[in-house]
Amino acid sequence: MAQRTTEIVVGFFMIAGLIALLFLALQVSGLSPKAATATYTLYANFNDTGGLTPRGKVSMAGVTVGTIESISLDKQTFQARVAMSIHADVDNIPSDSAAVIRTSGLLGEQYIDISIGGDMESLNEGDTFYSTQSAMNLERLISNFASGR
């Protein structure tokens, strides 16, 4: 085959590979080309984080508004301290809102849902949620029920 034809075919081959990579990036992994959005950090202390993991989602009324940055143990209170980065455009979370750990579906992954309060003041960078609700632990629930407590 002539050199030129070979070059053209190989060029198409490489383009097909690039398109495949783009497809995997955009359509399959849902990577959107937008730049990293500005965020601010909020904290919440939980008695039990259950199966919460970093990079999990933080949502409000079912809409994702941020991600879980890190989960660490507070050695003073023996509680889990969760850092969340919230999108900067959601800057009016009332300061008496509660962070609740929920499960998507029966067996799905756990995420933090922010249930809205009614305060006029809002949470700012570095603030901690005043009220939280830990993960529902099915086993503990059943054992509490069985022992009649």
**CA atoms of 100 and 116, how far apart (whole Å):** 11
Task: Verify binding: residue 138, another protein, rule CB under 8 A.
Answer: no
Smallest gap from Cβ 90 to another protein, in A, equals 19
- Should residue 34 be labelled a site residue for another protein when binding is judged by CB under 8 A? no
Binding mask 107-126 for another protein (x = CB under 8 A): --------------------
Q: How far is the CB of 99 from another protein (least distance, A)?
A: 21
| Cβ atoms 95, 52 nearer than 8 A | no
Contact residues toward another protein (CB under 8 A) are 1, 3, 6-7, 9-10, 13-14, 16-17, 20-21, 23-25, 27-31, 105
